[in-house]
Every structure is written in structure tokens, then in C-alpha cells.
Amino acid sequence: MTAPEPFGTRLRRAMDERGPLCVGIDPHPSLLAAWGLGDDVGGLERFADTVVEALAERVAVLKPQSAFFERFGSRGVAVLERTVAAARSAGALVLLDAKRGDIGSTMAAYAAAYLDEGAPLAADAVTVSPYLGYGSLRPALDLARANGRGVFVLALTSNPEGAEVQSAVTAAGPTVAQGILDRLREENAAELAAGAPLGSFGAVVGATVGETGAELAIGGPLLAPGVGAQGATAADLPRVFGDTLGQVLPNVGRGVLKHGPHPAALRAAAEREAAEIARFLDSGA
């Protein structure tokens, strides 16, 4: 049986072919209202379907935020299942933003839900939280590797409250965030040694965090939320990411979604964001 192509290899190809842009699918109540949709399952489905129709054949990554689907219960989760499947079928990589983190068999169950072949919510990658200890993520990391999928671990997040944990200094010396980054570098080493252009295990590093002094070269992708509504711009990326700009996957949500509900307007907004991001990632200026 042929081993699946690693997520990092697929992501590198998608970023090179379509541009380094991740667009959130964030059906927030205010966006549903702005689109003239009801804050109900019907509005949720119309919103998600429109984003997939407009962008799945064009952007590298779509990132559904699970919470905005879960708030509608089982019917909302069913919409999420269909959204993930439709986006992947149309050619986008899907990063499911679930931020799960637990221990033992519970973490293994989360991993199976998002990373197992054939699971209803199986995505190309998932976000996870390491704050029960990096080792608690092992079921997700191992299943992702086995199935050619990816994991993005929270490291330096875009919210200001994150610093009280992530910037704390550990007994071993580095900050909590640096310790996570160092472990991810180790996680990616085998794929890189085998010739992969990018590892499958990424970190979430907010575009809002400024100059952290952290060593961000982990050999895997760096998901950069915070561009747009949270205050960062494409011009901030070189200052935050320095020599690792080639691994950065900026995430934009409301900056694109506010231009709905017309698919053509969403496509135009995504193209503008991608062009602006590429300008700074390419130049480092």
C-alpha cells in the first residue's frame, strides 16, 4: 500500500500554485446578518456554501471555524461535514479550526474525528492546543503522520491574553511558546530529511505578536491569524516572521467575508488580499 503524500508537501504545492492565503469560513452572527441571512441553520448553510463556491477552486486553504457551526447543534455539525467535504472536493485544502486539546483516549478520539480516513469530519489538517503538555498531542501527531494530514499547534496566538501563558519561562529555560516551536521542529525533521519541501506540523503564530525573539524556523508552516479585523496588515508580516516568510500562511477571515454574499465580490476580495500578502512575502519589505 502506497504511503499517502504528506500534508506539508501538498500544502507547499497549493501555496506555490494558488498563493499563500488561508481564508476563514466564520459564520459569525454579525456576518450572517450583513449578508441578509438568518441566524439559523439555513443561513449557516447558505453562508458556507457560498464561500466554498466562491473560493474553493482558487485559494490554497479554507479554514472553517468549528464553533460557529457547533452552536447550532447536530444540524450545524452536519453542515460542517458537508462544507469540509465540498471544499476538499473542489480542490482547496481544509484546515479545521477546532483547537482541541486533551489527554489519552480523549485526545485519540479527537484525532480520529478530524484526521482519520473516512471520518465524517476528516480534514486535511486541524488546529490543536498544547496546554495539557505537548506530549498529550501525540495521538493527533501520529495519526496525522500516518494519514498524510497536518496539525497546527497553538504557539504565539494573536489574542493579547495569550502572552501570559505563552511568554512564561519554563523550568528548562525557554518560554512555553519556544518549547512548543522546538518540539515542532523535531516533529518535522524526518519529513525534511526525506526530501519534503515543508513539514506537516505547523505552528499558529499571530501576525499581531510583533518581534518576539522566538526562533520560528520549525521546518513546517506558520499559520498567521490576525491580518485584517484584529489589526495586523500584510506589512507586519516581515517584521514578525523575518527569514521564515516562505513558510507563512496568512489567515484572513472578515477581511474577505465582509464582501459577501456575492461570490464574485468574495473572489475579488480574496484576490486583493492574496496580491497584497504576496507583495510583502516576496519582497520581505
Structural contact between residues 199 and 7, judged by C-beta atoms closer than 8 angstroms: no
- Is-contact 227 250, C-beta < 8 A? yes
Sign of CA dihedral 81, 27, 124, 113: negative
DSSP label of 246: G
Residue indicated by cell numbers 506540523: 201
258 has catalytic annotation:
no
Distance CA 93, CA 125 (A): 8
* ∠ CA 203-184-205, rounded to 5°: 20
- Residue 101's contacts (CB-CB under 8 Å, 6 or more residues apart) are 107, 128, 129, 130, 131, 132, 136, 137
- Residue 134, classed as helix, strand or coil, is helix
Residues 235-260 as b or e (16 or more Cβ within 10 Å = b): ebbbebbeebbbbbbbbbbbbbbbbb
List 99, 138, 254, 258, catalytic entry:
99
> Among all residues, which ones are annotated catalytic?
99
